[in-house]
Structure 1
Amino acid sequence: MKFLVLFLVFAATAAAVSAAATSCSPSEDFFSRHNVSADDRNVPGSVCGGHCCGRGRETQLRNALRRTAEQRVASAVRPISELLLATKRTLQEHLTTLSYQLQNKTAIFFTQLYKSNAIRTHAPLAALYDDIRILLKSSSDEGNGAELGSPSPKDLTISTNKFFREVFPVAYQNVLKLYPKQFMPEYEACLKDAYDAVQPFGDVPQQLGVSLSQSLEAARALLQALLVGAEVLATSEGMLAASNEECSTKLLQLGGCSRCKGFNTSPCRNYCLNVARGCIGSLVVDLDAPWAGYVEGVERLARTDADAALRTLDSKVSSAIMHALENHVILEKKVRQECGPPTTLDTPNTATTWSTPGASRRDALRAPPPDTELLQFAATLSASKKLFASLSDRLCDEPDFANENNEQCWNGETIGEYTKALVSSASISDQKYNPEITATAHEDFRLAVLGVKLQHARQVLVSHSWAGSVPAAESFMQSDEAGDEGSGSGRSYSEDDATYDAEGSGEEGSGEQEAGSKAFEETTYSSTPRTSSAAAFEPLMSIVISFATYQFLQYLNQFRPVNCLSGAL
């Protein structure tokens, strides 16, 4: 009797298993989700041989599972690539917009200071800011950017020195209070030739040039490196999509054959990991170390030094003008030694106007530094340091490709336990121990090229990172009063929107007044003692009175709109 009961239980169990195996209904949902519709069971498939899949369905399933694996890889790689490109565009657009705003602000300062003669500063001012924008644009659009580490199209130390040389005759005319007159062309040419010997603005031009050059060259390197990283990710994604014939078959056996046999059970996790590490991870795992180094290099340079350097430019120009005013006695003596007494001619008193076509004044002229965005970007990128080492394992997070454990799952042959050894990594050297891969893995020369690109990018980024020490140029930017917008440190952008508007916006009572007043607040710039004579004090006092008048006018101007300087002067 006991034997009969056991026999009946065994028979019932066998019948249930047989019924489950002969039914394809549990697999139909899987086929539907992968858009596999062919039903030619009379022609068995060559790989799975299951009664639920004919040759046509097996072929469709093979292609569908390969696409799914590619999409899973792309979902890990593509967002990082898009993040790199988006950050590049955002930073480049921010710095370019900021350059126009500060060009505007500096031009307003010259208008207040030099009145009708300010028009003569238009060309040198535009040339300086154009060189800044050329340098930023040289990292330019995707596919057309300059090669990483290539020589800069503009040396901003030279550009800055040229700007101050061209402005010197106008500044010197202002020192001598020759408002209705202008220097003869020959005398003006002599002033420019004597600029190096006279040094009318002290060491401000040199320090400013170094500051701009270091900060904007670093920004240019970062912009180019972001583009390189995105290109490497796009190329690697293409390499992953080009899997070999064996791996296409292995993916079918992994994710499809159990369904072709009528089982609705996912593959064992270690089985999935072995296939994924051999077929996907081994293709790109050698990029793991170069990518981690690249991310580290980007992290070191993902900061707003270029923003700070640009914001400090107009205040340094006013400091340079102040230096010439404070030391006008020595300056006049040096100029007379080089060029003799001034020769002038009368000029008509023409008004200077500014106009900026385009967007809304308030919205277009607000450019707070992208500190928060860069911090978020760096944090997200940092989390991807092990991208290529863990890329293949992401496939096994898909329920269709892996169970949570290694028991009562699809082991490649039946439903049961997966007992084969788990290969320790996706490295090529480890694949000879992979029980699921028979083909010998070979290094792809394209992979070596991508690795070299990432290593080169890291070297360029580190060369611009200043290694954590504060250079002389950065110290120079930090020498402003802590509360002044535009200084290299101590920036405060919490004082409502007016702070942003003051950054070169040309809005009423903000950019114009600050540009004019700042030059006369920094009265301790020069180490050369001022003369106490009335003759020495008179030009400075005249300028102070002039600016007090302008500041009062600016207060009145708060009640009417003001046009702003166009980006193209």
Structure 2
Amino acid sequence: MRCFMVFLSVVAVVRAAAGAATSCAQSEAYFSRHNISAGDDQEPGQICGGQCCGRGREANLRAALRRTAEESIAISTVRTAELMLSTRRTLQEHLLGLSHRSQNKTAVLFTQLYRGHATRTHTPLATLYDDIRTLLRSSSEHDVITDIVNTRHPKDLVTSARKFFRDLFPVAYQNALRLDSKQFTPEYEACLKDAYDAVQPFGEVPQQLGVSLSQSLEAARVLLDMLAVGAGALTSANHVLAGINEECSNKLLQAAGCARCAGFDARPCRNYCLNIARGCIGSLLVELDGPWSSYVEGVEQLTRIDADVALRELDTKVSKAIMYALENRNILENKVRQECGPPSTVDSGLTPAPPTPGSVRRDDFRAPPPDTELLQFAATLASTKRLFSTVADRLCDETDFVDDVNEHCWNGQAIGEYSKPLVPSSTLSNQKYNPEITLNPPQDPRLLNIADRLQQARQLLISHAGTGGAQAEAFMQGDEAGEEGSGSGRSYPEDDGSYDAEGSGEEGSGSDDDVSRTMAGENRGGSATYSSTERTQAATNTRPFLSVIFATLILAAFGQCVT
């Protein structure tokens, strides 16, 4: 009898050693991938307690899985932010480059028209285009992000256009009178400028040019600034992710780490992972869903930039204004004489020169309009409208968390079936039915600030979108506004879960009553009784040398009994 008991003891010890060796060997590759060393203390971890993880290894694994979760969620927001800033820089560089080419083309026009006197137009021309570029360069990315909605216009282009034509008037009037070898006295030139408003030498063209230029370039400036605002909101949202609480860090460890600590080569069940992701990560950011969707719609309304056309046509409109003065020379001369008297001139010392053909090539504005690129950008951005309501689900596509089944997978306790209900979405109201979360997610005050910034950005975008923007505003205030959560930015309606790419409408619990009935009697701490028999999985594939050791120990035990 004593020998039989020795035999059983040896068998148990050897089997345990072989199982542990094999199980931990299967987990070592996983630990190595997370740079978690094999050296560890002998005290079991407090969360997993498996034979493959001591307290030190468990703590390191917990931190690594939390980083994985944060980085996984950040991928979507970072890529979108980079796209927005890249589009902003490309558009800004395009418009600034176009302004320089437009200035050069207008300067050539003056050289052809005014010949020796064209140098007198250089200063007013440079001042006008400097004002244009000041508007387009109004804010750096950092300034816009930190001081988000600055509605003060850096330059009033209506005033800039008036000043340009007022300073141009003496040269244009001298040309109209064909005084090529003469020049007005300083006093007479000052009088002409003072009489500009009364004489209106260029008709309505300067006012029309100023208004159209101001509206189109101001819309471009708003789009440039608000793209930076959106990128800043995404960056701030990533910072909120750092607020994952201790319970959720433990839940991430239980989902993707504890199976490895127990020696199982298994990933969490799909619905188990989604419940943790939506409760721990999605619920932190879901309040931004409505404001972000509204912001994206505002960007869509302003993606057709008229500033490109305005800059390309600026020299043509200047030419049109000059032609107006020439065609109405007699009327213009009578008005000037009433205001300033007959021309008072001095010898300019210039010899009249023949007109020059200029140096502007036909392809001087060869840079294509950015319409196509902006439409592609708008389409890509539109696909992110539900970014914050779905971003948490991406975690369950990561290597450590992905498993497409809900049977024979890690359910948090063992290898088996996950039969708990799937919450339909990440909305805060749904989290009270989440079987994996016991605490309500903390409300980060930064979310309110981000939401308000997005709402203000949306309002600015819509206000500069013209009639199309007004139609969009009316549309967004209708039924769709309720679905998208637009409004004050502080309270958003619940999501119906129809967006769920995982088919949660079918896999989930359905109505709230169904969730309540299903969850009745379950322990929210994770020790619920499952409806199906658990199927545990021990490690297999014992190595040959372990079999040899096993046989040797048995023979030695029997030898002791015989003696």
Deviations 1:214-246 (A, max 9, x none): 001101111110111111100100111231111
Deviations 1:67-116 (A, max 9, x none): 11111011111010111111111111111111111101100100110011
Question: Measured at CA, do residues 235 and 147 of structure 1 come closer, stay the same or move farther in structure 2, by a change above 3 Å?
Answer: closer
SS in 2 for 1:425: coil
Cα drift, residue 186 of structure 1: 1.2
Question: Measured at CA, do residues 21 and 466 of structure 1 come closer, stay the same or move farther in structure 2, by a change above 3 Å?
Answer: farther
Cα drift, residue 366 of structure 1: 4.6
Question: Measured at CA, do residues 351 and 407 of structure 1 come closer, stay the same or move farther in structure 2, by a change above 3 Å?
Answer: farther
Give runs of aligned pairs for residues 65-214 of structure 1, distance below 5 A. 65-143=65-143, 147-214=148-215
Question: Measured at CA, do residues 350 and 256 of structure 1 come closer, stay the same or move farther in structure 2, by a change above 3 Å?
Answer: farther
Q: What residue identity is the alignment partner of 1:261? A: A
TM-score (norm 1): 0.76
Q: What residue identity is the alignment partner of 1:424? A: P
Give runs of aligned pairs for residues 138-537 of structure 1, distance below 5 A. 138-143=138-143, 147-349=148-350, 366-468=366-468
SS in 2 for 1:142: helix
Cα drift, residue 381 of structure 1: 0.6
5+ long unaligned stretches in structure 1: 1-10, 353-360, 471-569
Verify the 8 A CA contact 1:21 1:263 in the aligned structure 2: no
Deviations 1:343-370 (A, max 9, x none): 1000122899xxxxxxxx9999753222
Question: Measured at CA, do residues 363 and 73 of structure 1 come closer, stay the same or move farther in structure 2, by a change above 3 Å?
Answer: farther
Cα drift, residue 156 of structure 1: 0.5
Give, in whole Å, the separation in 1 of the partners of 2:393 and 2:174: 72
2:33 matched to 1:29? no
Give, in whole Å, the separation in 2 of the partners of 1:448 and 1:30: 39
Deviations 1:421-450 (A, max 9, x none): 111211122211111111122322110110
Identity of aligned residues (%): 64
Deviations 1:320-375 (A, max 9, x none): 011111111111111111111101000122899xxxxxxxx999975322222212
Cα drift, residue 208 of structure 1: 0.5
Deviations 1:109-155 (A, max 9, x none): 00110011111111110110011111111132323676424210111
Question: Measured at CA, do residues 268 and 17 of structure 1 come closer, stay the same or move farther in structure 2, by a change above 3 Å?
Answer: farther
Question: Measured at CA, do residues 17 and 219 of structure 1 come closer, stay the same or move farther in structure 2, by a change above 3 Å?
Answer: farther
Moved more, 253-262 or 52-61: 52-61
Verify the 8 A CA contact 2:219 2:305 in the aligned structure 1: no
RMSD of the alignment, in Å? 2.4
Q: What residue identity is the alignment partner of 1:465? A: A
Cα drift, residue 23 of structure 1: 2.3
Cα drift, residue 468 of structure 1: 2.2
Verify the 8 A CA contact 2:188 2:344 in the aligned structure 1: yes
Q: What residue identity is the alignment partner of 1:282? A: S
Verify the 8 A CA contact 2:301 2:469 in the aligned structure 1: no
5+ long unaligned stretches in structure 2: 1-10, 354-360, 471-563
Deviations 1:387-412 (A, max 9, x none): 10001000011131131011000000
Verify the 8 A CA contact 1:38 1:56 in the aligned structure 2: no
TM-score (norm 2): 0.77
Verify the 8 A CA contact 2:144 2:228 in the aligned structure 1: no
Cα drift, residue 52 of structure 1: 0.8
Moved more, 257-266 or 421-430: 421-430
Structure-2 residue corresponding to 1:39:
39
Count of aligned residue pairs for this structure pair? 450
Structure-1 residue corresponding to 2:494:
none
Question: Measured at CA, do residues 330 and 91 of structure 1 come closer, stay the same or move farther in structure 2, by a change above 3 Å?
Answer: same
Q: What residue identity is the alignment partner of 1:201? A: F
Verify the 8 A CA contact 1:48 1:257 in the aligned structure 2: yes
Verify the 8 A CA contact 2:73 2:391 in the aligned structure 1: yes
SS in 1 for 2:183: strand
Verify the 8 A CA contact 1:41 1:51 in the aligned structure 2: no
Give, in whole Å, the separation in 1 of the partners of 2:200 and 2:174: 15
Give, in whole Å, the separation in 1 of the partners of 2:286 and 2:386: 10
Cα drift, residue 202 of structure 1: 1.0
Verify the 8 A CA contact 2:144 2:225 in the aligned structure 1: no
Verify the 8 A CA contact 1:22 1:51 in the aligned structure 2: no
Question: Measured at CA, do residues 469 and 74 of structure 1 come closer, stay the same or move farther in structure 2, by a change above 3 Å?
Answer: closer
SS in 2 for 1:23: helix
Q: What residue identity is the alignment partner of 2:196? A: Y
